[in-house]
Amino acid sequence: MFNSYRVPEISVLELKTLIEDKTDFLLLDVREPLEYRIAHLQGKLVPLGELPQRLEELDAYKDKPVIVHCRSGRRSAQAVAFLQQHGFEDVKNLKGGILAWSREVDPTVPMY
């Protein structure tokens, strides 16, 4: 379903700056609902397996920056490649995922 490509990435510190600067972007969380309940960054939850069926929910963001994250960066990299194939031009993978966020930005976010 998804191909692995080398995808553009953004660091957790760069994401933190975007949030602090109130930049208009979509933070897309492609983990499962149970994972989201454990820890989240207030992103829009669309699990990776549901992405093809829910793609039109994201149409409003085709021309805006989209940052995709998961737990470690693997699933989100697949999602970035998929979104690129479907016309999303400014889409990046959060390098290291929520684990990196917890380590480098906010240790109160649970690691699991």
Domains of the chain: 9-104 (3.40.250.10)
Q: What is the pLDDT of residue 5?
A: 53
The dihedral formed by the CA atoms of 41, 76, 37 and 56, expressed in degrees to the nearest 10: 90
Distances (CA, A) of 79 to 24, 57, 85, 97: 20, 14, 10, 13
Active site residues: 70
The backbone torsions φ and ψ at residue 69, rounded to the nearest 5 degrees and listed phi first, read: -140, 160
Contact 94, 1 (CB under 8 A): no
Task: Say how far apart CA 85 and CA 7 lie, in whole Å.
Answer: 12
Predicted TM-score (pTM) of the model is 0.92
Q: What is the pLDDT of residue 1?
A: 43
Q: What is the pLDDT of residue 12?
A: 97
pLDDT at 6 over 80: no
